[in-house]
Amino acid sequence: MDVQLAYGKKGLSLRLDDTWNVSVVEPLYTPGVTDARGALQEALRNPTGTRPLRELVKNSDRVGIIFNDITRATPNQVILPAILAELEHVPPEKITLFNALGTHRPNTEEELRQMLGDSIVKTYRIVQNNAFERATQVSLGMTSLGHEIWINRELANCDFRILTGFIEPHFFAGYSGGGKAIMPGMAGLDTILGNHSAQNIGNPRAIWGITHGNPIWEEIREVALKTGADFLVNVTLNREKAITAVFAGDLDQAHEKGCEFVRRTAMVPVDEPFDIVVTSNSGYPLDLNLYQTVKGMSAAAQIVREGGAIIIASECWDGIPDHGLFGQLLRESATPEELHSRINQPGFSKQDQWQAQVLAMVLLKAEVYVHSDYLSAEQLRQAMLQPAISIEEMVQSLLNRYGKQARICILPEGPVTIPYIRQTARVV
């Protein structure tokens, strides 16, 4: 059996023994729209739950357009020109583009040009969120969970805010897109830490595919509404990263329609857990580092048995990465138990603890082996993971341990597919 895993920009081919007990689980394939620019124009002129974008924005308005950073596959170079065409009555100097970094590193000028195109970078002012600099933020009060809302000051001062992004299942916010453009995208560190607290991450409803009743999603929505989420432009993508649908208009109504679309295509039930799950992290750009790779591990963990094994292929050209505290948090603990216990101590609050917490939860359930062209065996072991030089040989080694009839699942597209056990709630 030949299987192609999403890996980097080129993919990774696997050749598995036909005698192995293998199931391949993929999302329902949806072809891309034939005219992406036309589909965006139609959605902007006939949005859900509100008037056309052109009618909502005055030529005197200070307009903020939020876009995803380099870690997301959002086709900014298609979405932004379509939006700007509807805002041709607004002078370019009245429009600011906001890079929703959250706590990620700033993008380089080369990356911005790659993401947006030379013309947009040359014409419009770009502000990259700095979650760590309080002077760039303004307080908008408290959330219902008691967390202070710190938001980028320039975004808050805009008269009209447009949120862009793409919708896919998210490992603790339920689905991406929607209000995530503002929180964590344009939020301050304290607000992000409060939302991504150990208590919230550990909540049974903070998981793939759940929004209402999920404390993380609920607070994200609350912060977005308090900041002013005036118009949403979200898309869905297929494995080729082509736009399959556009959801624009009112934050709640448009995002819910998009989530329902993704729910029908990406959420895949299986009957029982597997001994071995082989997956990816959806390829470029999501598999740029180990931090992001936790998402693919979490998706696989939903259907692996207790004590089973996950093998994940993730290029990780950006390393652990060096920025942030994720790598440090992993190196400071000797075992997943120690890491999980430390993060859950009262008062513990550090950047990237949420990703480390999810990784610890996965490791408490299953062994994790990583195939990467850029991470060394030592780096992986310091992160409490094991290297897998050859995925085929790793599977054979596990079969020697588990028995020839061990059940194997392949998730070729990684967390683009969210499998779950029928009649089962949260697994990890």
Average pLDDT of the residues of the chain:
95
Nearest residue to 73 via CA among 373, 295, 305, 306: 295
72 and 158 in one domain?
yes
138 and 233 in one domain?
yes
**pLDDT, tens digit, 9 for 90 and up, residues 69-126:** 998 889 999 999 999 999 999 999 999 999 999 999 999 999 999 999 999 999 999 9
Q: Domain span at residue 92?
A: 36-264
Q: What order do you get walking across the sheet with 304-313 strand by strand?
A: 21-24, 407-411, 274-280, 304-313, 367-371, 386-387
280 and 238 in one domain?
no
3-state secondary structure 284-309: CCHHHCHHHHHHHHHHHHCCEEEEEE
55 and 179 in one domain?
yes
**pLDDT, tens digit, 9 for 90 and up, residues 342-395:** 999 999 999 999 999 999 999 999 999 999 999 999 999 999 999 999 999 999
Q: What are phi and psi of 165, to 5 degrees?
A: 155, -175
Q: Cα separation of 120 and 65, whole Å?
A: 12
Q: What is the pTM of this model?
A: 0.91
Q: Is residue 285 reached through a cis peptide bond, with omega within 30 degrees of 0 on the bond before it?
A: yes
Q: Is residue 47 reached through a cis peptide bond, with omega within 30 degrees of 0 on the bond before it?
A: no
From 232, 264, 296, the end of a domain falls on 264
**pLDDT, tens digit, 9 for 90 and up, residues 284-316:** 999 999 999 999 999 999 999 999 999 999 999
User: Contact, 416 vs 27, CB < 8 A?
Assistant: yes
User: Contact, 185 vs 145, CB < 8 A?
Assistant: no
Neighbouring CB atoms inside 10 A of 276's CB total 27
pLDDT-based confidence at residue 424 (cuts at 50, 70, 90): low
Residue in the structure block whose two tokens are 């556009």: 246
191 and 118 in one domain?
yes
β-bridge pairing 12-15 and 2-5 = antiparallel
User: Contact, 172 vs 206, CB < 8 A?
Assistant: yes
**pLDDT, tens digit, 9 for 90 and up, residues 219-274:** 999 999 999 999 999 999 998 899 999 999 999 999 999 999 999 989 899 999 99
From 229, 247, 264, the end of a domain falls on 264
Q: Classify residue 428: in a domain, yes or no.
A: no
Tabulate helix, strand, coil % of the chain (nearest 5).
35, 25, 40
Q: What are phi and psi of 249, to 5 degrees?
A: 125, -135
Q: What are phi and psi of 124, to 5 degrees?
A: -115, 150
Give the three-state DSSP class for 150. strand
What CATH number is attached to the domain comprising 355?
A: 3.90.226.30
Residue in the structure block whose two tokens are 């859950």: 344
